[in-house]
A and B are shown apart, each in its own frame.
Chain A
Amino acid sequence: MNGPMTAWAVPIQVPPGRFRLVDVRRRALLLAQLRVLLVGAAFLLLALAAMLRIAWLGVVEPAPNQRSMADALLPPRGEITDRNGVPLARAFPAYALWFNPAAMADGGPPLVQSAEAVAARLKAIFPDLDAYVVARQLASGKAGYLRRRVLPEDANRVMALGELALELPRETDRHYPQGSMAAHVLGYVEDGEGRVGMEAALDARLSDPALRSQPVALSIDARVQGALEDELRRGMLSVNAVGAAGIVLDVDTGEVLALASLPEFDPNHVDDAGRSHVFNKVTNQVYELGSTFKPLAVAAAIDAGTVTNLARRYPATPFHVSGYTISDSHPLGASLNAPEALIHSSNVVTAHIVDDLGAARMKQVMADLGFNERPYIELPARGFPIWASGNWPRLQAMTVGYGHGLAVTPLHLASAYAAMVNGGIWRPATLQRVAPGHANRGRRVFKASTSARMNQLLRMIALYGTGRNANAPGFRIGGKTGSAEKPGAGGYRQSTLVSTFAAAFPMDRPRYVVIAMLDEPQGTLASSFQRTAAWNAAPIVGRLVPRVGPLLGVRPDETRDIDLTDLMPLIGEQE
């Protein structure tokens, strides 16, 4: 401002000696007016420039980079819910605990108290914290994470410590509100990528910006899943089993309502111990599932027409075939008919029935039930069955008939049982919710008449046979026990069993298949010092079904049951 004014003022200072000044006063006045005008013009220019700048900012310049509300509410990873909309996994703005030594900004020590005292108080909030390591980190004066995941209530308690250097930045994290429940179904997220379960299977869908605003509904029902895990855990602990697996499957759609593998891991906090439990026993581990195969063999024989008369009696004495003797765990008399064989779980009679059926036909039915390929489910971890290719010899077919020589996953068994009880249609299992009327068409394995007959036979096993401990009053449960010896070094180990109960309910119109499996159960007081499925796996189903049946729309009714009158004369006197 000063520059132009002095520049103007200099030439006006007229040297008095050269010109004659006519009116000095008038000139001075003019000069003053000119200066005022100049100052005014400068201010006007300034105001104009400011106005132009405002107009420029308001009209031309793009708005400050603000996110729209839809962007702000778009989760970084899609939500996973159960079939009823209960969140199972969600992106959650969690807190982290960050040590910022510069927070006080006064040049003094970063902490008010000593590092040891702060570490001790943090340990009181987070009991698993290593106080020594934290104290050293606090004393070192280096910024860094003290903890990556802090719950809101713990965050409040850290704030209450009054240490400015302990900051709680918000970080987006994956949170599983149900904790370890359905961990094998959900999997977990590590380094932004889904691992193990549906987090891995749906990784692209969950991280797609166009789709991730919509939650993905699984077929799982959180209440059923919780009850299944609860009962399995209880059953597993009461017999000191090393593991347990269970599944609840909708027989008409193939939807998996619950799928549990124990011991479980916590997807919120996957450590080394958790990683060792990531293996899914339901979809990935293959077992010889023992006597639970017998109803499938009998169904195959009825379907093929090689068993037309259920009253026909087969010899039940040890059966010598190809240098091998098939025998029962305890003598069952001289002869049995097919219903009695299922009720008392006779290996010998099942072998005779399969022998009549023929090995080729037996293999075909097993293949139709999907036992020659990995199970159908979205999960990435799917075990391949131990399936003998080529022509099956006679003995191979017989041992498969009672569940040995063919190892499948519990999920295979559940799908096969669903096909056996639902009218004969095999459908792939799915973890995605199926809209009504959109179920997979599936393929026919058994005739509807065979299926109806098998429903009667399964119900009889639960009423009069080895499945009595599963017979919850009013729920019309039918099912078959299976206690298979586990193969070890040098043959089968007699004391190491896999005990399974494969069930369906209600048998007058089957809607759900339930499989409960225990790995290496021991004889304890809770199981009357028995290791077999009738004493450990069957009671799990017997306790589970009353808990989940009413939730799934199956009302217990003791006045209703499947009609067994045509079969009752065949099984002799029952208590």
Chain B
Amino acid sequence: MSPHSKLRRIGWIAALASCAALYLMLHLKVHAVHSEVVRAERQIVALEQQKMLLETEFETRSNQLQLAAWNRVDFGYTAPSAAQFLENERQLASFGRPRAPGAPEPIRVAGGHGVEAPEYPRLVSPLTGRPIDEALLEPEGSTLAAAADSGTLRIPLGAVMSGSGQ
């Protein structure tokens, strides 16, 4: 065996070994990502169930019987009468009256824009803890339609994952 062929053999073995090592690393990485996905799925399932629990509890507490009782007993609400409905802008305008001559100036209230008003809190992703892009909260169409389309999945998963920067 010449030194040349020996060198070549060592080279082949080294290449093979490095390929095997790289493959092993890739394999481990794939498995790590996979288990991460599984964990995320489990978390989603748990959150979905929790959400359904809360939603059902909310629906139960706000059932029609309860609302009717509150409306009647606590608030004394009645159905709106015909006079409370407006057909169009013209009918609305007919309620107004032009300002009479010599009437006092209408009071104008100064509006404050962006002063002292704290920023509205943003919805935070339960998976990553970072704020969610607002465009993802209303993915094409209403949330109801999205829930009906996706069947078991109540939230658009792809949107959440991409929104949380993964």
Contacts and interface: CB of A to CB of B under 8 A. Distances in A.
B157 to A, nearest CB: 9
Contacts of B60: 175, 177-179
B87 interface: yes
A550 B64 contact: no
Given A152-B53, A179-B60, A213-B151, A226 B67 contact: yes
Contacts of A152: 53, 57
Given A58-B31, A555-B85, A179 B152 contact: no
Interface string B79-119: 11111010100000000000000000000000000000000
B45 A72 contact: yes
A92 B56 contact: yes
B57 to A, nearest CB: 6
A109 to B, nearest CB: 34
A151 B59 CA distance: 13
A87 B41 CA distance: 25
Contacts of B160: none
Given A474-B81, A474-B82, A547-B79, A223 B45 contact: no
B144 interface: yes
B18 interface: no
A73 B45 contact: yes
A222 interface: yes
A93 interface: yes
A178 B153 contact: no
B87 A181 contact: no
Nearest to B151: A213
A164 to B, nearest CB: 23
B137 to A, nearest CB: 18
Contacts of B55: 87
B63 A93 contact: no
Given A152-B53, A473-B81, A474-B81, A178 B44 contact: no
Contacts of B49: 93
A558 interface: yes
A85 B55 CA distance: 13
B133 interface: no
A93 B41 CA distance: 19
A66 B38 contact: yes
B38 A175 contact: no
Contacts of A58: 27, 31
Contacts of A223: 64
Interface in A8-61: 58
Q: Using C-beta atoms within 8 Å of the partner chain, give the interface range for chain A.
A: 35 or more
A568 B128 CA distance: 73
B82 A558 contact: yes
Interface in B35-81: 38, 41-42, 44-45, 48-49, 52-53, 55-57, 59-60, 63-65, 67-68, 79-81
A87 B80 contact: no
Interface string A472-484: 0111000000000
B53 A226 contact: no
A348 to B, nearest CB: 37
A90 interface: yes
A1 interface: no
A86 interface: yes
Given A92-B56, A214-B151, A550-B80, A557 B67 contact: no
A69 B44 contact: yes
B148 interface: yes
A227 B52 contact: no
Given A73-B153, A74-B152, A213-B152, A181 B41 contact: no
A87 B56 contact: yes
A280 to B, nearest CB: 19
B151 A556 contact: no
Contacts of A74: 152
Given A69-B41, A152-B53, A550-B85, A178 B64 contact: yes
A149 to B, nearest CB: 12
A66 B31 CA distance: 15
B81 A556 contact: yes
A558 B68 CA distance: 27
A258 to B, nearest CB: 11
Contacts of A229: 64-65
A72 B63 CA distance: 28
A550 B81 CA distance: 10
A546 B48 contact: no
Nearest to B40: A69
A373 interface: no
Interface in A441-465: none
B59 A87 contact: yes
Contact of A70 (B82, B85, B153): B153
A329 B57 CA distance: 53
A557 B64 contact: no
A384 B96 CA distance: 60
Contacts of A68: 41
A181 B64 contact: yes
A297 to B, nearest CB: 33
Given A72-B41, A72-B45, A226-B63, 19 more contacts: A69-B42, A69-B45, A70-B152, A85-B148, A90-B52, A90-B56, A93-B53, A179-B63, A181-B65, A213-B151, A213-B152, A214-B148, A214-B151, A215-B148, A227-B68, A475-B82, A557-B82, A557-B85, A558-B83
- 7 nearest interchain CB pairs? A226-B64, A474-B82, A556-B82, A177-B59, A546-B79, A69-B41, A73-B152
Interface of B: 27, 31, 38, 41-42, 44-45, 48-49, 52-53, 55-57, 59-60, 63-65, 67-68, 79-83, 85, 87, 144, 148, 151-153
23 contacts: A69-B44, A69-B153, A72-B42, A85-B144, A87-B56, A90-B52, A92-B53, A152-B53, A153-B57, A175-B56, A177-B60, A178-B60, A180-B65, A214-B148, A226-B67, A227-B68, A230-B65, A230-B68, A543-B79, A546-B79, A546-B80, A546-B81, A557-B82
